[in-house]
Amino acid sequence: MGYSVVKRSIIKGRRDKIWNWRCRWSIVTIAAIALIFYNAVANIWLLHPTACPVISTASPSDPPSCEPCIDTVPNSAIDDDPIAKLDLRLGRWDGSRSYRLFDYAAVGELYSEVSSNSKVCLATQSSIERLHELLRIAAHWTGPISVAVFVAGDELRLLRAFTTWLFRCQPEIYSRVALHIATPAERPGVHGVVPSWARDCRSKPLPPGERRADTVAWRARHPYPQNHMRNQARKNCHTSYVFLVDVDIVPSKGMAASLDKFLTTAPKCSLCAYVVPTYELDKRVATFPSSKSELLRLSRNKLAIPFHRKVFIYNQYASNFSRWEASGGNETSETHISHNVTNFELLYEPFYVAPDTVPAHDERFLGYGFTRNTQVYEMFLIGYQFRVLSPIFTIHWGLQARRNRPLWREKQNEKNRKHFETFKRELFARYRRDPLHLLKRPQQKKT
């Protein structure tokens, strides 16, 4: 009896040991299988990403929320920060050795091809704090875009970030853009660390407040070299015609294709500049006018006015907006000449399409005042004819008012007014024509 109990106890102990051993190995086996399965799924997911949705550029104010997939770039290891390789010692100097200029700091892969197939290149210039406006332009302009950007000090790292964001998040836009840089000798650009939003398509590019305080203070004391930037952007276009605009001037939809068609069939005119009417649009208007008829409806409701009408009427006065509006929009949708400019004003500065054989912008004019109208005035003395186009147009978002102009702009304007006296004498000597004698209206004060 005692022997049987002991035997059963021994057998039970052995069974318990075997059971414990089997349980331990089952747990280890299950864990190993689970780990193998997890690794397999992870590898498949990493090597086979989901299809990337189409990125729309219809609303540039709302950046896309999709991180680009491998399909949006040539390969997953491509360098998405081309400006990082820029040697800041190798830029060409301007005539006064005050600015270094870097042409083609970043170039989209289709820029050359699109330029070869287009009649018109859109050229523009910008400071870093307004560069986001480029998205509005590119959403409507389907041709090549040449943009010159002014950066000082740490602003270069923000330009690198924006270029990277554009490459990753708006590849269709980036592919058509050639980006150039100008930086001051007194405060040259420095590479620095690129912020994290550069590679996050859920982020809005160039958020405010990222520039260093000392850079902002330096910029406030030094005039912005608009004409340097205009010349740089113009000269890096490779089409027969150039449409030079400021970065906050947005073309109407389909303008690139419409201009291509017009310039293909228009009679040859070596001394013609084709003016595109520009309006200011009240910010309460939610959508861009879809047609000239829609723009004129907004004009009748005081939600759109000719550009600079309240700030300085002679800026666009010679374009004769009343005559342009007389059609009421009931005209062909094909781009055509509405009328010729017959009442040229000394301070006229339209946005126009012309070959890049027009005079360069005088780089002695820095900041604001006499930067564009002096170049247009020299064209007038040469004998250029200004012809206003319809039904295409451009828009500046926001109605401007004289009271909103800061004091420093008037100071820059007064300084440039002195340069203008020298400029007039040079024109008289060059063209043997008295500039003021050719005009009906005496010189007006520009503010």
**Chain segment 31-68, per-residue pLDDT in tens:** 667 666 665 554 444 444 344 333 333 334 443 333 33
pLDDT band at 77 (very low <50, low <70, confident <90, very high): very low
Q: Give the global pTM.
A: 0.80
SS3 58: coil
Give the model's pLDDT for residue 376.
96
Task: Report the alpha-carbon distance of residue 344 to residue 366 in Å, rounded.
Answer: 24
Q: Which residue has the tokens 């853009």?
A: 177
Give the model's pLDDT for residue 25.
63
The DSSP bridge pattern shows strands 92-93 and 99-107 to be antiparallel
Task: Report the alpha-carbon distance of residue 155 to residue 174 in Å, rounded.
Answer: 20
Strand partners, 102: 181
The proportion of the chain whose per-residue pLDDT surpasses 90, expressed as a percent, equals 69
- The tokens for 80 are 């998405």
CB neighbours of 112 closer than 8 A, spacing ≥ 6?
238
How far is CA 115 from each of CA 179, 274, 314, rounded to the nearest angstrom? 14, 20, 34
Cβ contact 151:130 at 8 Å: no
Beta-carbon-side half-sphere exposure of residue 117 (alpha carbons within 13 Å): 9
Helices and strands (H and E) in the chain: how many: 12, 14
Mean pLDDT computed over 22-39 = 66
Give the model's pLDDT for residue 409.
79
Give the model's pLDDT for residue 67.
32
From 153, 165, 242, select the one nearest 199 (Cα to Cα): 165
Task: Report the alpha-carbon distance of residue 337 to residue 379 in Å, rounded.
Answer: 19
The proportion of the chain whose per-residue pLDDT surpasses 70, expressed as a percent, equals 79
Residue 447 has pLDDT above 80, yes or no: no
Beta-carbon-side half-sphere exposure of residue 75 (alpha carbons within 13 Å): 3
Mean pLDDT computed over 143-163 = 98
Mean pLDDT computed over 134-150 = 98
Residue 432 has pLDDT above 60, yes or no: yes
Q: Which residue has the tokens 């440039």?
A: 416
Mean pLDDT of the chain: 86
